[in-house]
Chain A
């Protein structure tokens, strides 16, 4: 078996015992990436030589007997929205053409401190706005299970790279489901931490009150390892929370006996794919047979989440993306007669259609005369959505739902219909609005064609140990994680 196919916890043990070298792993990762990228396009760019040099450095330090971090020598793919010093960071957009990151995002510095090697730039919907990776200015990423289908989004490259065994783990960002939805559609584990768990410093902002960075991995144990490495309070992000960071792998006992799992009736809706519903219900039965107690719950404001999300997220985006004006970075329209002309033409040429739509929508909901009717009202309904979850967590330890209402759709199928595209996020957006944590874990496949289905486990604020425990117990009781796409 090639080393790129192993999990981090398998690799770390063998690396520590010097049975394998980090350089061997790096070579397999590069070979695999070179082999599948022409068909997959998960990466916008990668540098095999740089990875190999960093891996050799890890091997030399290990040979000298230096203390090694928990992720020593593990290549971790990076979504194009995170600053990695000396590398491009284009957020899948033409407007950031030529930009070179002057510093490391905090999560990158933390990965390096744990010994991991940041690898490549993973494709994404432009500025993380989208559910299919079709909004990238640099071409769509394909789903490793069916190359005619989308991998999900916005972190489509991050999900596809793990599913295709290019790298053992990747980082993505999740504003309304952008980690969990592609993880579900590609058949890997993806975790969105509680708002404030992980520093956002060095993440190019989309919607600042919703954005969180999180891991993609082949299994729950690896997701727990990477989460532990990137979590914690950061003086550079005042919204990061000084909650202690536990060893998340210690929560993975496989024991869910007596745990109460809430099943919200609003997440099993008419119009959802029958196979997805059946797989999610079978997963709930499996958890029940492992000793968990299933309780029926209600999250009554669920149906308003998407409307709230598309007001709040676009409002915040319209402010955040004002910085792309052709002055400090990226492209600039030529021969502008004055700054206003320069801003308009730079932005008109630099932003793709979805980003433009969302900036205009965000401008609209914040504009004079509409602020109270849209933005303020949405913030109030957000309070109700968060309250729904907090009340539900009085009755249960975690909530289980399908991650998405259907499996991966075909490239182009929803591209011209933004509202239908938005509806693919209905099961994930409320988690960001409430600021709680969630993980997607594989729970089966559709029959024809064979496409992955994901189970979403949601937890209280800073309840990452609980959701990882549930997801891990389920994962270990099933064989879904062993299935690999034939790419």
Chain B
């Protein structure tokens, strides 16, 4: 199999930016080579005839699950807030978003 020619080139800087993961040049190069190999491997799916086949998102018979819409008292949010790197006034604090 020499599908390297067939598989599209992986654009690691663009994908890393989409995924919000900062990488240095060395990591980009290494991951790029490894991912290219993996993408070449998955090209084999092109051999399969999938005409008329429905996609499977989920392997259970269940479609929709409903419950009564009853009011409930939420639990204490303190242990959740405590996990935040920065919090104040019962809120998560993030760097400034708008000028």
Please give the residue numbers on chain A whose beta carbons come within 8 Å of chain B beta carbons, in ascending order.
98-100, 102-103, 195-196, 209, 235, 238-239, 241, 301, 303-304, 306-308, 310-311, 318, 322, 325-332, 336-345, 347-349, 351, 353, 356-357, 359-361, 363-364, 367, 370, 374, 376-384, 386, 418-419, 422, 433-436, 461
Query: Complex: how many Å from CA A94 to CA B57?
Result: 31
Contacts A357-B35, A383-B53, A418-B34 hold; do A307 and B44 have CB atoms under 8 A apart? yes
Check A348–B23 contact: CB distance below 8 A: yes
Q: Tell me the nearest residue of chain A to B58, going by C-beta.
A: A209
Contacts A344-B20, A378-B45 hold; do A327 and B84 have CB atoms under 8 A apart? yes
- CB of B60 within 8 A of chain A? yes
Number of A-B contacts (CB under 8 A): 172
Docked complex: B53-99 residues within 8 A CB-CB of A: 53-62, 65, 67, 75, 79-80, 82-86, 92, 94-97
- CB of B50 within 8 A of chain A? yes
Instruction: Say how far A90's CB is from chain B's closest CB, in angstroms.
Output: 12
Query: Complex: how many Å from CA A141 to CA B39?
Result: 30
Chain B residues whose C-beta falls within 8 Å of the C-beta of A241 in the assembled complex: 60-62
Check B83–A102 contact: CB distance below 8 A: yes
Interface centre among B37, B86, B95 (most CB of A within 10 A): B95
Query: Complex: how many Å from CA A438 to CA B58?
Result: 18
Chain A residues whose C-beta falls within 8 Å of the C-beta of B54 in the assembled complex: 380, 383
Main SS of chain B's interface residues?
loop
Contacts A235-B67, A326-B85 hold; do A377 and B58 have CB atoms under 8 A apart? no
Q: Tell me the nearest residue of chain A to B10, going by C-beta.
A: A364
Check A338–B97 contact: CB distance below 8 A: yes
Cβ-closest 4 pairs across A and B: A435-B59, A379-B55, A348-B22, A102-B79
Main SS of chain A's interface residues?
helix
Query: Complex: how many Å from CA A360 to CA B9?
Result: 13
Contacts A100-B83, A364-B39 hold; do A370 and B8 have CB atoms under 8 A apart? yes
Given contacts A329-B84, A340-B20, 19 further A-B contacts (CB under 8 A): A195-B59, A238-B62, A307-B42, A308-B45, A310-B38, A328-B92, A329-B85, A338-B96, A339-B97, A344-B20, A347-B21, A348-B22, A367-B18, A379-B56, A382-B56, A383-B54, A383-B55, A418-B38, A461-B61
Q: Tell me the nearest residue of chain B to A336, going by C-beta.
A: B95
Query: Complex: how many Å from CA A299 to CA B1?
Result: 23
Chain A residues whose C-beta falls within 8 Å of the C-beta of B17 in the assembled complex: 344
Chain B residues whose C-beta falls within 8 Å of the C-beta of A356 in the assembled complex: 21, 23, 27, 31
Query: Complex: how many Å from CA A209 to CA B60?
Result: 9
Instruction: Say how far A317's CB is from chain B's closest CB, in angstroms.
Output: 11
Chain B residues whose C-beta falls within 8 Å of the C-beta of A326 in the assembled complex: 85
Contacting residue for A304 out of B35, B44, B55, CB 8 A = B44
Instruction: Say how far A371's CB is from chain B's closest CB, in angstroms.
Output: 11
